[in-house]
Amino acid sequence: MTADTCISCGEQIPEGRQVCPGCEKRQWIKITVPGRPVPKGRPRLGVRGKKAYVYTPTETKEYEKLVGWVAKSAGCRPVEGPVSVALSVYVKGRLDADNIAKSILDGLNGIAYEDDDQVVELMIRKHKVTRKEEERVEIAIKEAV
- Beta-strand ranges (E) seen in the chain are 3-5, 12-14, 29-34, 44-48, 51-55, 83-91, 119-128, 136-143
> How far apart (Å, rounded) are the C-alpha atoms in residues 129 and 136?
10
Count of C-beta atoms within a 10 Å radius of residue 57:
14
pLDDT of residue 102: 95
On whether the CB atoms of residues 111 and 71 are closer than 8 A, the answer is: yes
> How far apart (Å, rounded) are the C-alpha atoms in residues 118 and 135?
28
pLDDT of residue 29: 86
Percent of the chain residues past pLDDT 70, beyond the cut? 88
pLDDT band at 7 (very low <50, low <70, confident <90, very high): low
Non-local CB neighbours of 52 within 8 Å, separated by 6+ positions: 45, 46
pLDDT digits (tens, 9 = 90+) for 35-87: 999 998 776 777 778 888 776 778 889 999 999 999 999 888 888 889 999 99
| Candidate ranges 4-13, 23-32, 37-46, 57-66; pick with highest mean pLDDT | 57-66
On whether the CB atoms of residues 102 and 57 are closer than 8 A, the answer is: no
Q: Which residue has the higher pLDDT, 3 or 99?
A: 99
Of 25-29, 69-73, 87-91, the range with the lowest mean pLDDT is 25-29
> How far apart (Å, rounded) are the C-alpha atoms in residues 110 and 101?
16
Element of type H or E holding 63: helix 58-73
pTM of the model: 0.75
Mean pLDDT of 8-37: 77
Sign, CA dihedral 104-134-14-99, equals: negative
On whether the CB atoms of residues 70 and 115 are closer than 8 A, the answer is: no
Domains assigned to the chain:
18-143 (3.30.1330.70)
| Residue-averaged pLDDT of the chain | 86
pLDDT of residue 76: 85
